[in-house]
Chain A
Amino acid sequence: MPVEVYRVDDRLIHGQVVVGWAQPLEISFLVLVDDGVAGSDWEQDLYRMGVPPGMVVHFVDVATAAQSIPAWHGERRKSLVLTGDIDTMRRLCAATPVVRAVNLGGVHHAPGRRQRLRYVFLSADEEQVLREMASTGVVVTAQDVPASRPIALDQLLAGTDLS
């Protein structure tokens, strides 16, 4: 079964992911692709606490994720693949052609970033990375929760009609 969502969210595993997305989409297989968390037992324990019973969660680095994505697409369970930042998603997309759509779900304020949405702030470098991802055929949209309207990358970067 294809991976339902490839999401960028700097809050990693939290309520919006495990409740907002996983419940309505019946996702029971969650993968956090993060080199730091993959190497930290303590952080894995912390984030595992937020995973409801019946949901399987894997913590992997980018290289492992790239190797494992074909197997994830063969899973009977619906899955969601999560990264904490745009660069990690870029590396994942570069490592495998399987990723065809990316959801920007939470990229919050940091120095050098400009606000594009209530939940999306981007630096010039990040905007360029997203444009390059889109130029390879990856559909990039911003959408915090399933009930909200997805916003296309062009519209996001143009900064118009984002109500």
Chain B
Amino acid sequence: MVAAHGELAAGLVSGVEAITGRGAHFIAFSNRGLAPADIERAIRETVEGANLDVVFTDLPMGSCAIAARKVQRLRPQLLVVTGVNLATLLDFSMADGVPPREAAERAVARGHEALGTIGTPKHAG
């Protein structure tokens, strides 16, 4: 499950689909217009309904992450990932045969690696 602000989750999942054809591995969820209790309920129902082990969220203190952490309190085996990006999801989607929590930990590392700056240093000699 990917839970995020606006259309971000759907956009990330569409990116996974475009690159790998594995967008269907994810359930995209938007918090748009929803009260915190509704977000928590939707995440809980999705996690329980699909028996999910991992929820990817965007901002660490966004309402999706907070709601996911409240679900996690009742379901300690759930792993909540914050700061999700496309590199993270791509890596996770390709982790065939790897236990979901382990795959998520590896995917987070790939997501970290993907974040950077490219350009000529301003004061390069």
Which residues on A are within 8 Å of B, measured CB to CB?
10-15, 18, 42, 46-47, 49-50, 108-110, 118-119
Contacts and interface: CB of A to CB of B under 8 A. Distances in A.
Given A46-B69, A108-B36, A118-B33, A11 B63 contact: yes
Interface string B14-57: 00000000000000000001111110000000000000000000
Interface string B46-83: 00000000000001111100100110010000000000
Interface of B: 33-38, 59-63, 66, 69-70, 73
B60 A49 contact: yes
Contacts of A47: 61, 66
B61 A109 contact: no
B35 A108 contact: yes
Contacts of A10: 35-36
A11 B34 CA distance: 10
B59 to A, nearest CB: 5
A69 B7 CA distance: 39
Contact of B66 (A14, A42, A108, A110): A14
B69 A109 contact: no
8 contacts: A11-B63, A14-B59, A14-B63, A47-B66, A109-B33, A109-B34, A109-B35, A110-B37
Contacts of B70: 46
A118 B63 CA distance: 16
Contacts of A14: 59, 61-63, 66
Contact of B35 (A13, A15, A18, A110): A110
A42 B73 contact: yes
Contacts of A12: 36, 66
B33 A15 contact: no
Contacts of B63: 11, 14
A46 to B, nearest CB: 6
A49 B80 CA distance: 14
B6 to A, nearest CB: 12
Contacts of B35: 10, 108-110
A13 B38 CA distance: 17
A119 B31 CA distance: 12
Contacts of B60: 49-50
Contact of B62 (A15, A42, A109, A110): A15
Given A46-B66, A108-B33, 18 more contacts: A10-B35, A10-B36, A11-B36, A12-B66, A14-B59, A14-B61, A14-B66, A15-B59, A18-B61, A47-B66, A49-B60, A50-B60, A108-B38, A109-B35, A109-B38, A110-B35, A110-B37, A119-B33
